[in-house]
A and B are shown apart, each in its own frame.
Chain A
Amino acid sequence: MSDALATSHPKTTGPSRIVQLLGTWHGIQAYVKRNPSLGVGLAILIGLIAVSYGALLFVDPSEVDPLTARPLQPPTRDYPLGTDKLGRNLVAVMALGTPMTIRAGFTGGLVTVAVATVLAFIAAYYRGPVDRVVQWIVDVGMTIPSIVILILVALTVDTLTPTQLGLVVAAVSWFRPTRIIRAQVLSLVERPFVEVAQMSGMRGPGIIVLELIPNLLPFLIASLVNAITAIILVTIGLSTLGLGALNYPTLGTTLYNTILYAAVLQGYWWWWTAPIVVVVLLFISLLLISLGMDEFANPRLRRTA
């Protein structure tokens, strides 16, 4: 059916499918009702961001600096999450660090998917030598464990901001998305509406931007969620190893400090509880969003219930 629609009104295919799925408030409600995990996941994520910005109304951001409070205090009325060994208010650390980590993930994820989309569409639409070069780079890139390159880069450049770290991670994360998106485009290019567009005189870039990308938009958005998850996972992992943006109070840096000072075995439970709870909530929300997007990206999965 979507093919027929595509052939008769090539310019409205992509958006029309999204409108069909989500265009109305009713549609969104129905979708979330069918896939409750999407709603729960989004609620947790938005809640995390809202709570961190909300906390900044009550806490002075400068309390994130070392020695602004008595070190290693368990939670009290003044310090609801306690203080760490460096004498920092953990409420301030969490309130500043959580959005930093999320922002790094979103920036990196956007760049990853943007690069992957451009390369995949060009490679799959034009084929030939361009395609072969892209495929070769992707094959080699996927074979080298990216953590290896990241460790080397982070060792070499030790003054990164969290967002820059996210971008560095993005630079080695676009191989797999490129391959997956390319495979999707290859099957899309064979559809009749592409031929119609070619015969009606549209050029390559026009077809890619106006015909192909809108048709794949749901899939690209789902890829974006996965890319964001991967980038947050890797940036936190790198910081926990003691690499990357150590001068910023990100979630990873906080975890690194707890490991460095053996906070678990020393019994400073409040120090590591806060970052772990936030990180766990963050990953679970992203997992739920990704599970909830499955139907959006691949409508054949729609449940009958």
Chain B
Amino acid sequence: MYLRYLFQRVVFLFFVVITAASLNFVLPRLTGQNPIRERLAEQMLSGSAISAGVEELVATYDAKFGLDKPIWRQYLTYMGDLLRFDLGYSIPNYPRRVSDIIGEAIPWTIGLIGVSTLLSFTLGTILGALSAWRWTPQWVRFLSYPFIALSGIPFYLLGLILLFIFAFQLRWLPGNGGYGIGSVPNLSIEFALEVLRHSILPALSIVLSSIGFWAIAMRGMMVTVEGEDYMILAEAKGLKKSVIFGQYAVRNSLLPQVTNLALSLGFVMSGSVLVEVVFGYPGVGFLLFRAIQGVDYPLVQGIILVLILTLALSLLLVDLILPLIDPRIQLNRQRMN
């Protein structure tokens, strides 16, 4: 039973990835623009390339990037390359491979967004649980209102405001980049502290604006659970309030939260793009911004592929783990509705 379910999910996600990868191939080609020709024309305008022999140059590059072959050959080559994780070369930084450039950016994004997502999940869940609990002091409940208001504002706008206050006005924290301009990444403690200082503002803007989201969701679940009969029974049995709170109310409300956490970790890569742009943070999002600015199609496509794969994999993980930790979930969901 479980194996069959697992097989179904894997096949489904395989189709999703194929569809997404095909869109990734088809959409940029619909315009009929030639990225290499555009690139060269741009360089000619800025005077950095000789205009003589451009046609041959274009032809050489077309051959190099395989753009002179029929479209179905290009598609097959593209899919074959994907299977080997060969994403080709970045056009503006030609000798560098797309996979290397993305590989350098990924740890930054996972570090920043992963940590701040976990942090806001923890804080928001606690706040939400407390604000639905009858015996919570009133001031804790008031604490959640500003966070709910902040959750209506996109991360990056909060980022701009924090940038102004702490990096420009007060000059307490650096507001640009992942580390100081003069330093070279290494494994020393000083460098680690420097990275930490640079990540405070971007992390803060994510945490502050997503606490409210987790709090609202947790509060909703808590209210539902508190209406259940077993809560009344627990109270009638004379259990301690802390036990009812922790092991009855919170425990039962936590499952949907965990599902959501797994899903939002899947969006880690795509959700953070603009925060990284605001703070010039050297992660995948900022890389995407620069690739768009530089009309670097292979790099854009590579990043998009990474985004799709992360999401698909984390969805698969959710699907596989949930039936194991929650016996109420039935494997044949299609038949239920």
Contact = CB atoms under 8 A, between A and B. Distances in A.
Contacts of A139: 12
Interface in A201-257: 233, 236-237, 240-243, 255
Of B15, B16, B152, B293, which is in contact with the most chain A CB atoms at under 10 Å from its CB?
A: B152
B157 A279 contact: yes
B304 interface: yes
Contacts of A236: 154
Given A144-B308, A276-B160, A151 B31 contact: no
Contact of B153 (A183, A269, A280): A280
B12 A148 contact: no
Contacts of A265: 163, 167-168, 175-176
Nearest to A182: B337
B278 A259 contact: yes
Contacts of B300: 151-152, 155
A2 interface: no
B307 A148 contact: yes
Contacts of B273: 147, 237, 241
A284 B152 contact: yes
Give chain B's interface secondary structure class: helix
Contact of A140 (B16, B153, B164, B176): B16
A140 B312 CA distance: 10
Chain A interface category by residue count:
35 or more
Contacts of B149: 284, 287
B160 A152 contact: no
B167 to A, nearest CB: 7
B6 interface: no
A304 to B, nearest CB: 14
Contact of B164 (A237, A259, A269): A269
Given A147-B273, A264-B168, A286 B27 contact: no
Contacts of B15: 140
A241 B289 contact: yes
A206 to B, nearest CB: 25
A186 interface: yes
B31 A156 contact: yes
B164 A145 contact: no
Interface string A148-191: 11011101110000000000000000000000000100100000
Nearest to A286: B152
Interface in A251-305: 255, 258-259, 264-265, 267, 269, 272, 276, 279-280, 283-284, 286-287
A145 B337 contact: no
B225 to A, nearest CB: 16
B277 A241 contact: yes
Nearest to A137: B19
A143 B304 contact: no
Contacts of A283: 152-154
B22 to A, nearest CB: 11
Interface residues of B, number: 47
B292 A151 contact: yes
Kindly name the residue among A242, A264, A272 whose own CB sees the greatest number of chain B CB atoms within 10 A. Answer: A264
Contact of A149 (B27, B160, B288): B27
Contacts of A237: 154, 156, 273-274
Interface string B306-330: 0110011001000000000000000
Contacts of B154: 233, 236-237, 279, 283
B161 A240 contact: no
A255 B153 CA distance: 14
B260 interface: no
Nearest to A124: B337
Given A145-B308, A240-B156, A242-B293, A156 B164 contact: no
B31 A157 contact: yes
Contacts of B151: 287
B20 interface: yes
B163 A264 contact: yes
B24 interface: yes
B153 A284 contact: yes
Interface in B1-34: 12-13, 15-16, 19-20, 23-24, 27-28, 30-31
Q: Which 7 A-B pairs have the closest CB atoms?
A: A287-B152, A152-B27, A143-B16, A283-B152, A145-B270, A144-B20, A148-B304
Interface of B: 12-13, 15-16, 19-20, 23-24, 27-28, 30-31, 149, 151-154, 156-157, 160-161, 163-164, 167-168, 175-176, 267, 270, 273-274, 277-278, 288-289, 292-293, 295, 297, 300, 304, 307-308, 311-312, 315, 337
